[in-house]
Amino acid sequence: MTELTINIPDNKLPFFMLLAKELDFVVLDEKKTAKKLTAKQKKWVDDFRASMHEVDLHTKGKIKLKSAEQLLNEL
């Protein structure tokens, strides 16, 4: 198997990845295609994951989240 490195503009990467995944003979190493995140971006991703986990727990009835009105009253 031959390894090929391709540089693709960030705004075209999602389209290229969809296209490449449709080709049954292409093996993608997605670890290599991932961009390196800054510390600020990593924190945002971690916070977002934590928030989504809370939403998941709420939809399962395991925790109760504040209403929008309660949130606005805190401001």
Tokens of 21: 């995944």
Predicted local distance difference test score (pLDDT) of residue 31: 66
Section 12-27 average pLDDT = 85
CA distance 4 to 28: 10
Identify the pLDDT of residue 34. 59
Number of neighbours of residue 8 by Cβ within 10 angstroms? 13
The pLDDT of residue 33: 57
How buried is 19 (Cβ within 10 angstroms: 0-12 exposed, 13-18 middle, 19+ buried)?
A: exposed
**The two three-digit tokens of residue 41, written as one number:** 């971006």
At 10 the pLDDT is: 83
What are the tens digits of pLDDT across the range 57-74? Answer: 999 999 999 999 998 999
State the Cα–Cα distance between residues 35 and 7, nearest whole angstrom: 12
